[in-house]
A and B are shown apart, each in its own frame.
Chain A
Amino acid sequence: MRAEVKEYNYDWMMGSITEAAAKLPAGSQKEADLSFRYIPYFRYALGALLETGPPGVQFLKMLSHYYKNITTAHDQGKKIVATTFCSTPLIFYAMGLVPLTFEVLTAVGAMVWKRGMFDYMDYGCEVGMPETSCSAQRGSLGAYLAGLGETIDFIVCDSPGVCDTNATAFAFAAEYLDKPFFQLNYPSTIGDERSQAYHVEDFKAMIGFLEKQTGKKFSYDRLESYLKEMEAQDAITADLEDMLLLVPTPIPPIYTLMIYAGRFCFAGHPEYTRMLEKLRNEAQKRMKAGVPGLKAGVERLRVLMCYIDHYTVDMNFYNYLEERGIANTGSILTRNFRDNNPYCQSLEGSCYGVDTSSPEAMLETVAQMNARLPMVRSIRGPYDQHGMWLDECLALARLYNADCIIYNGTSGCRNTWGMVKPFARDIEKQGIPVHIMYDDAFDDRVESWEASKERLDEFFTVRGLL
């Protein structure tokens, strides 16, 4: 790793950047203009968030708070649990812990730095992680492996059964950093009684692990209050999903990122509820005025991202969508599979409800919810199993009137690269054009953004979409 990168603590650096960004709207225009001059590679991203108005400001505050929680956790006597974005933070909050999600931290760094997370990713390889492992974890994890982040107290992952490379990163980190480790394991089926019973047992074991690590008893009362807050969040999300159905949609491309990033960081927290409320207010205003979410004011195309979005420098992917007039109808990260969403009608048996009537019911709920988070729902088991990834994508593409489906992931993603070709062919057979991006969502060195952009343009042109 370059010496100058080693000079700074990663959490502190990102925390400072997001804190400064969140304060920007409180200053004068002159101050803001000056600040933008200092961030040439983060200017669009910040500008785009601020342009969304109150939701963007709230989003920045939330991110800043997320970092502050991490950097002050130990001073507050709290423990830090490293986890993955496909595991809900809600249960950790209920336990009084500070969750630290590698993928979120990688995405933030990748979007605000011209140099991306390359130094940290490469450091991961220097100490033994395969260079072919998923960049989503390897980015920020590299900083922790190098001792450039807050000290992690223990590790919980829920990717065994759905993603080897993700689970391996966490297991590797646990050994390398010598931290206690717990895994939630996912069978290939979902929604059936047998797998649900397995999930519940797994969660009981996880609670036991958390109690052992913290020396505290798990509080179902706290869990209940988080779940109730989440109820309110899910209701707003469902409203936003409804508005995403409209053609043109009043939802700008960047909203989907804000919806899921907020959920990964603060599910069950009032500040996430506040951001969602602001998103809904803004979207409703546009809907009533008949104004599309896209800045250009015209919706030329609607895409469904069947996997994840692209997160490299300056949010250039969202910028691209805006430039071309393309509405983003969401990705696997957007959907939460709560039963109040419009897509649940087309995907019978795939969604879940919330029940806070007893500790057992709450545990069932959390187990069901977690089993439907990104990856652990969509890409477990065979993709063409009833209700799984293929059915899900076809149902969503039809419901949201997507003109095409785009696959974008990471080159570390064995799981999806193992079947994306037949998957794409199956979708094409249903008359929906599919484009497979051969890039890496977090690492522009795999394919430069310029090349990815040209290939997207080529796809839209050749298929007569734009």
Chain B
Amino acid sequence: MQVFKDVAARIQPQPLLDWKAQGKPVVGYTCSYLPAEIFHAVGILPLRLRGIETDGMDIGDVYFGPFICSFPKCLLQLVGKGMYKFIDGAIITPGCDSMRRLDECWRKAGEDYEGVLPGFYYYFDVPHKSEDHGMDWFIEEIEYLIAEVEGYFGVEVTDEKLRASIAEYNKGRRMLEAVESMRADINPVVSGADVFSATIAGSVMPRNEFTEQMAAWLEALEEKPPLDNVQKRVMLIGSISDDLELIKLIESQSGALVVSENLCFGVRGEGRPVDETGDPIKALADHYLGESICPRMYGKYKQRLALLKQKIEKARVDGVIMQNIRFCDLHGAENALFERDLEALGIPCLRVEREYGPMIDKGRLKLRINAFLERIGRRRARQVAG
């Protein structure tokens, strides 16, 4: 577990440095729609780009305007500071408008700061619908991406290699699923912060090493006694979050445990395995686009609500904390609908807006979270009494 914590806490953790020391390539990507298996299949480390460890916005603000989510701004800040100079490639995905504009801002920063624009720089055009022509488009996008990777890195992405990578990734997915079940158990043995560290680690460290570490952790968890004092079972959803501080903040409050989440760095996309039998590209497309449960897929709110309800039931969630980064319309608007519909079902919800990056609003968030946990506590007490 310790390795996951170390990896989740830093932009350049040891396993990554070791990988680079062996002269092996790394390609950064910005969004959960990218099939990481493509890179793994040819010995390239797919690295989900993160904005932690940002300590200012002097570079981000030069390129991005003021009304923009702080996540891509933090990424750009780190890029400009040279923190991502070690990557050999970057893939930008139009997850949202702020994110897709990272494309231009990064390229422009590349004109001003030497060496910050990697040699392989690619725009992966993910559609907003997964039916028929949307799916066909996405499959073609995967094929174009593969061709570009092959051309630039001098590799060959065969079906066989892809299948092997899918199988390797699936091992991790199944283990994460198992951890999810432990977490949802009436007597959970694992904290939300630990699970979150593991899922983050899965998207930034060499995958085979991750699989090994996961297997060892899972074994250890099976022996672990249940956690004490779990009185308020919380679910965390909303905008991008790869900063452990938020989950830690929630779990540092007496009796609170994050037993489930629906975040794009979390188990949201990792929870289910990819089909290992048929055409691997089709299987990847079905998984990464077809099963996507993110609000950028407009018009699918009801499916997302149904999924949340399922998770809430499974993990016996007492209350849902919905956060959105300021200027994140996708999650901001959807959180309001979730709040309306879940509260109507008697599930307490807390909606908060925050900034990404150093937890400058920690005090404010703590206050609101505490008040919410009190509400949950009172409700639980009533349920026990009644």
Contacts and interface: CB of A to CB of B under 8 A. Distances in A.
Interface stretch (A10-18, A94-102, A156-164): A156-164
Given A174-B299, A414-B97, A422 B108 contact: yes
Contacts of A421: 62-65
A168 B329 contact: yes
B82 interface: no
Given A164-B97, A419-B105, A132 B299 contact: no
B97 A198 contact: no
B287 interface: no
A335 to B, nearest CB: 22
Contact of B104 (A129, A202, A422): A422
Given A171-B298, A183-B128, A418-B101, A130 B133 contact: no
A201 interface: yes
A164 B133 contact: no
Given A132-B327, A415-B97, A161 B128 contact: yes
A420 B97 CA distance: 13
Contact of B96 (A164, A205, A416, A419): A164
Nearest to B61: A421
B65 to A, nearest CB: 3
B133 A202 contact: yes
A318 interface: no
A201 B132 contact: yes
Nearest to A127: B336
6 contacts: A128-B336, A157-B298, A187-B137, A202-B133, A384-B104, A418-B105
A194 B324 CA distance: 35
Nearest to B332: A130
Contacts of A164: 96-97, 296, 329-330
A448 interface: no
The interface size bin for chain A is: 35 or more
B359 interface: no
Contacts of A128: 333, 335-337, 339-340
A383 B102 CA distance: 12
A-B pairs, 7 with minimum CB distance: A128-B336, A418-B101, A417-B65, A130-B332, A160-B128, A201-B133, A414-B97
B69 interface: yes
B302 to A, nearest CB: 8
Contacts of B113: none
Given A175-B302, A418-B65, 18 more contacts: A128-B333, A130-B324, A130-B327, A132-B327, A157-B298, A163-B97, A164-B330, A165-B97, A168-B298, A168-B330, A169-B333, A171-B301, A175-B301, A183-B129, A188-B125, A194-B140, A198-B127, A418-B72
Interface string A191-214: 000100110011001000000000
Number of contact residues on B: which range applies? 35 or more
A393 to B, nearest CB: 14
A349 B296 CA distance: 30
B123 interface: yes
A133 interface: yes
Contacts of A172: 333-334, 336-337
Interface centre among A130, A383, A413, A423 (most CB of B within 10 A): A130
Contact of A176 (B103, B137, B337): B337
The listed residue with most B CB atoms (<10 A of its CB), out of A157, A205, A417, is A417
Nearest to A418: B101
A132 B330 CA distance: 11
B139 to A, nearest CB: 12
A168 B62 contact: no
Interface in B113-151: 123, 125, 127-129, 131-134, 137, 140
A36 interface: no
B64 A160 contact: no
A321 B150 CA distance: 55
B137 A418 contact: no
Interface string B314-345: 00000000001011111011111101100000
A437 B242 CA distance: 34
A133 B334 CA distance: 12
Interface centre among B134, B328, B329 (most CB of A within 10 A): B329
Interface in A407-466: 411-423, 425, 438
B327 to A, nearest CB: 5
Contact of A420 (B65, B123, B326): B65
B129 A418 contact: no
Contacts of B333: 128-130, 133, 168-169, 171-172
A415 B67 CA distance: 10
A176 B123 CA distance: 34
A93 interface: no
A152 B299 CA distance: 17
Given A172-B337, A188-B94, A415 B101 contact: yes
Interface string B76-119: 00000000000000000010111011111101100000000000
A185 B125 CA distance: 12
B68 interface: yes
B170 to A, nearest CB: 30
A25 interface: no
Contacts of A181: 298-299
A385 to B, nearest CB: 9
Contact of B94 (A129, A161, A201): A161
Given A133-B333, A415-B97, A418-B65, A183 B299 contact: yes
